[in-house]
Amino acid sequence: MLRRFGLPDHFVNVVVRLHENAKIKVKVGEVESELDSSIGVRQGSCEGPVLFLFIMQAAIETMKWPVPKPEFRTRTDGVTMGEKSTRKRHATSFEFWLSLFADDCAIFFDSRADLITGASYLYNHLRKFGLLMHVGNGAVMSKTEAMYFPPPRVEYSAADTSRIVVLDARGQPAGFIDFTTEFKYLGSIVHYSLSSEADVDKRIKSATAAFGALKNVFTNRHLDLKLKGRIYVALCLSILLYGSEVWSLREDLLGRLRSFHHRCVRTMCRVNISHTIRHQISTSSLLSRLGLEPLESYYHRRLLRWAGHVARMPLNRLPRLLLTGWVANPRPLGCPQMNWGRTLKKALRSKDLPTDFVAWRLIANDRARWRQICGGAMPRQATNHPNNRQATWADIRNGPEITPRL
């Protein structure tokens, strides 16, 4: 069956070797036994993920996609937001319609009609490779879900989000796919509004639970405050800011995160609102006791380090293309909703960095210096700064010339 799709001989040989003459080693106590396996790769074996990636990639590469693929444009020296949709000079087009991660697959469609056609085609094509796309059947709900992203200023309810029927190769119903308003993936919440509000609320809820589980530690008056701060950063802040590198953070969402941070700081210092008002205790003084920084510092550090990592990627990587990419459709009138590019510009201004893409990418090409500016671990040459503080871009603006890394 594999040769029928024109797959390379070396790939077929890898698949055959993973299934033929396989041995299973079983160890009970100090006794080891070896058994012959005649059913191929078992679930949980080391060969399983490798074989699946081979099969999945082969299935994707042999597809003749029946519908148009979404098209994007990018400039290698462009901006991260606000580019004209009709720009063609120094712009290149690329297709972004498929995203694979482990055993998950996300596919993008321009319309509901394309989704109906593509879902049935994908279901039947994967079956040829022994892969089963999980669709609903009867009372069993589908693990495969669809999500509709409405255009700006269009209500979600205005579109048809009814159940989609998947047809098999004979044209008979094979199952169904339902629409969802939000989807949890790798701990992050993807919402149909494309805002980060649902994800921020989820992160605050999870971090609150983690802080509450350790409340006896954080309220212990005999424990050193600096140690409390380190535990808080390692356990609670890491949960709170998980996935924050890709948030499009509005000011009200940042205010919610800041409020959670300040509540935790007051609890660790055993200070309540009444104490702060009566004795005029500032939040900065409490942060100093714990050895902590304002929430914006932790958030901007994560965001800028991720942006620098993407900017250093080669131009054939999809994240790098999307960093300066845009959709070739006219923009609606009025102020657009908060996006990642505007969030990044705020973070760049907080570190006194240039917001021009070419300028800050040139700085980010020097990884050690970029980490120093973002507030990460300082290189050795930065330890001579006054009070051993974190250097800003203003401190090292007159430093040695930066050579781009190609």
Candidates 354, 355, 396; CA nearest to 373 is: 396
- pLDDT at residue 378, rounded to an integer: 45
On whether both 168 and 201 belong to a single domain, the answer is no
On whether both 262 and 321 belong to a single domain, the answer is no
Q: For residue 311, is it within any domain?
A: no
Q: For residue 95, is it within any domain?
A: yes
Q: For residue 406, is it within any domain?
A: no
Question: Residue 265: which residues within 8 A CB-CB, separation 6 or more?
Answer: 283, 286, 287, 290, 292
206 vs 56: which has the higher pLDDT: 206
Q: For residue 306, is it within any domain?
A: no
On whether both 207 and 283 belong to a single domain, the answer is yes
Q: How far apart are CA 233 and CA 227, in angstroms?
A: 10
Q: pTM of the entire structure?
A: 0.80
Place of tokens 């001579």: 384
Proportion of the chain above pLDDT 90, given as a percent: 56
Q: For residue 32, is it within any domain?
A: yes
On whether both 30 and 74 belong to a single domain, the answer is no
On whether both 92 and 202 belong to a single domain, the answer is no
On whether both 142 and 205 belong to a single domain, the answer is no
Proportion of the chain above pLDDT 70, given as a percent: 86
On whether both 163 and 115 belong to a single domain, the answer is yes
CA dihedral 276, 278, 279, 283 (to 10 degrees): 20
- pLDDT at residue 375, rounded to an integer: 80
Count of the separate structural domains present in the chain: 4
On whether both 72 and 181 belong to a single domain, the answer is yes
- pLDDT at residue 291, rounded to an integer: 94
Residue 151 has pLDDT above 90, yes or no: no
Q: For residue 114, is it within any domain?
A: yes
Q: How confident is the model at residue 45 (pLDDT cuts 50, 70, 90)?
A: low
**Chain segment 227-267, per-residue pLDDT in tens:** 999 999 999 999 999 999 999 999 999 999 999 999 999 99
Mean pLDDT of 266-294: 91
Q: For residue 368, is it within any domain?
A: yes
On whether both 178 and 72 belong to a single domain, the answer is yes
Q: How far apart are CA 259 and CA 120, in angstroms?
A: 47
- In one letter, which amino acid is 361? R
Residue 260: which domain range? 194-293
**Chain segment 106-116, per-residue pLDDT in tens:** 999 999 999 99
Residue 349 has pLDDT above 90, yes or no: yes
Question: What is the residue-averaged pLDDT of the chain?
Answer: 85
Mean pLDDT of 297-310: 95
- pLDDT at residue 19, rounded to an integer: 66
On whether both 173 and 101 belong to a single domain, the answer is yes
* The domain boundary residue, chosen from 137, 161, 185: 185
On whether both 95 and 171 belong to a single domain, the answer is yes
Q: For residue 72, is it within any domain?
A: yes
On whether both 73 and 171 belong to a single domain, the answer is yes
Q: How confident is the model at residue 152 (pLDDT cuts 50, 70, 90)?
A: confident
